[in-house]
Amino acid sequence: MPRPIEALVHPQALAHNLGRARAAAPDARIWAVVKANAYGHGIARVFEGLRGADGFALLDLAEAELLRSLDWRGPILLLEGAFEPRDLELCSRLNLWHVVHCQQQVDWLAAHKTQQPHRVFLKMNSGMNRLGFTPAAFRSAWVRLNALPQVDEISLMTHFSDADGARGVDHQLTTFAAATHDLPGERSLSNSAAILRHGINEAIRNDWVRAGIMSYGSAPDFPAHDIHHWGLQPTMTLRSRLIATQQLQPGDTVGYGSSYRAREAQRIGIVACGYADGYPRHAGTDTPVLVNGVRTGTVGRVSMDMLAVDLTPVPQADVGSEVTLWGRGPALDGRPAVLAIDDVARAAGTIGYELMCAVAPRVPMRCLD
Ligand SMILES: Cc1ncc(COP(=O)(O)O)c(C=O)c1O
């Protein structure tokens, strides 16, 4: 028998979350952002759930090829554009739309031989200082692109640094609007946090929104808001089983470094899940976990293949009991138990994005609704 750990991807929850993006941005078309192998879920596994999107946005050319092999004929956008001139050949062959964020990419396009003019998204650095032309250089990049026979339609794009927080989007919007107000073309501005928090901002003209993390059942502005607030459902469950139990006496310690010491008699369970499965090693004692659907916490340090959980709230648990590390647990009193990935991430000092991307290759993953 293989180790009892597995990860489940929930297609109906993906479709539900996509519906939340549609409801929040009803006039926009939606890019389902599937970079990083669909935020760790697997592009092929999320395809059915997200195929109601208007297009898929990603970075990796191999991932774009995979989508075409799944027979997706709609738009695909390369969010970082070409990494070298040769990539443009694949864009021509597979009809990939691509971001143009720097002068070199314009030069490569100018030298590219193609019968098929490319749809490009010209990216502005409106304050994030990651990718994009400065507002001052944006117009001349647009003029140059517009004169190229290799270029078809030019859309305008930027990315917000603080859509999830107090600073918000206004400072970048003002910069973007000032530099683009008289340029034609569709606009693509919002990520998940902007879709949910700034969706009704009249100043945002958004022809294409880019829904990433919200599609995967994580709140982009957690802990200010959680998935229940935004009506999102978990799309990934990481689950395993108890492979042993231990009865602790007062003063007994648990795991490496003896970082946890029992104050009273306590029963704990040992779970087949560790940091080599992608569970965060920095998750300290009391990181939430479900045993048989009942919420409890971890105890002691996470080791490579195992972690320990407190069985006090679930005394009937024993070897073989189901443990939900995040996602959907077994139903309790007819209601499905849910442990949001954001709750686990916070206890480990990280974000849901990182946990879902980090599930290790040794963990089998499959779709289940
Ligand atoms: C350019 C761009 N657009 C959209 C997204 C999606 O962001 P989120 O997952 O926060 O919705 C990302 C992700 O980092 C991105 O880099």
In 3D, which of 224, 200, 307, 220 has the Cα closest to residue 260?
307
How far the first Cα of the chain sits from its last, in Å, is 24
Residue range 103-132: mean pLDDT, rounded: 97
With contact defined as beta carbons under 8 Å apart, do 339 and 306 qualify?
Answer: no
- Note the pTM of the prediction, 2 decimals: 0.96
Phi and psi at 327, nearest 5°, equal 105, -140
**Whole-angstrom distance, CA of residue 39 vs CA of residue 36:** 5
Phi and psi at 222, nearest 5°, equal -65, 140
123 catalytic residue (yes or no): no
Sign of CA dihedral 70, 72, 73, 75: negative
The residue whose two tokens read 């059915």 is 48
The residue whose two tokens read 């040992």 is 270
Q: pLDDT per residue over 19-73, tens digit each?
A: 999 999 999 999 999 999 999 999 999 999 999 999 999 999 999 999 999 999 9
Residue range 131-138: mean pLDDT, rounded: 98
Q: Does 332 have pLDDT greater than 90?
A: no
Sign of CA dihedral 134, 140, 145, 146: positive
State if residue 212 touches ligand 1 by the CB under 6 angstroms criterion: yes
Q: pLDDT per residue over 163-220, tens digit each?
A: 999 999 999 999 999 999 999 999 999 999 999 999 766 667 789 999 999 999 999 9
**Whole-angstrom distance, CA of residue 339 vs CA of residue 328:** 6
Buried-exposed string 152-167: b where 16+ CB fall within 10 A, e elsewhere: eebbbbbbbebbbeee
Distance 210 CA to ligand 1 centre (A): 6
Phi and psi at 237, nearest 5°, equal -115, 130
Residue among 159, 198, 353 to mutate when testing ligand 1 (max atoms within 8 A of CB)? 159
Distance 307 CA to ligand 1 centre (A): 32
